[in-house]
Amino acid sequence: MKQYTVRIAFIAVFLAVLDTGSMSFAEKSATQHTLVVFANARSDAVGIHWVDAEGRHRDYDKIQPVGQWHQSTYGGHAWLITNEQGRPLGHFVADKKPSLGIIPKE
């Protein structure tokens, strides 16, 4: 039996300080399927919310402290990260290539 090793290159991206007035929304025409891995370096849980093309937040999951979460998405889709009280911490726009979104320590 042959064995194959598959490697996926990840692009490290730090979350920017969120300015909700200038946050981009999901691209309506996004067609490039991709993967995002969110890594929470904080000492508290964070919420992950997809932002649709109209700017509505769709709750997806929580990432526990020092945890990770994998999400299939499309290049150009926007994700909002909040603290446990719902306060925005930052946002992430998925690239067309698989990427890593690091939620930095407080």
Q: Which domain holds residue 37?
A: 11-19+32-103
Q: pTM for the complete prediction?
A: 0.74
Q: What's the confidence (pLDDT) of residue 76? A: 87
Q: What's the confidence (pLDDT) of residue 86? A: 93
Total domains in the fold of the chain: 1
Q: Would you write out the chain's pLDDT as a tens digit for each of its 106 residues?
A: 444 333 444 444 444 333 344 555 666 666 788 898 899 999 999 999 999 888 899 999 999 999 999 999 988 889 999 999 999 988 888 888 888 888 888 7
Q: What's the confidence (pLDDT) of residue 9? A: 44
Q: What CATH number is attached to the domain comprising 57?
A: 2.60.40.780
Residue 64 domain-assigned (yes or no): yes
β-bridge mates for residue 101, sequence order? 13, 38
Q: What's the confidence (pLDDT) of residue 15? A: 42
Residue 4 domain-assigned (yes or no): no
Distances (CA, A) of 22 to 17, 55, 59, 73, 76: 11, 11, 20, 21, 15
Q: What's the confidence (pLDDT) of residue 101? A: 86
Q: What is the spatial distance between Cα 21 and Cα 94, in angstroms, rounded to a whole number?
A: 19
Q: What's the confidence (pLDDT) of residue 64? A: 97
Q: What's the confidence (pLDDT) of residue 105? A: 85
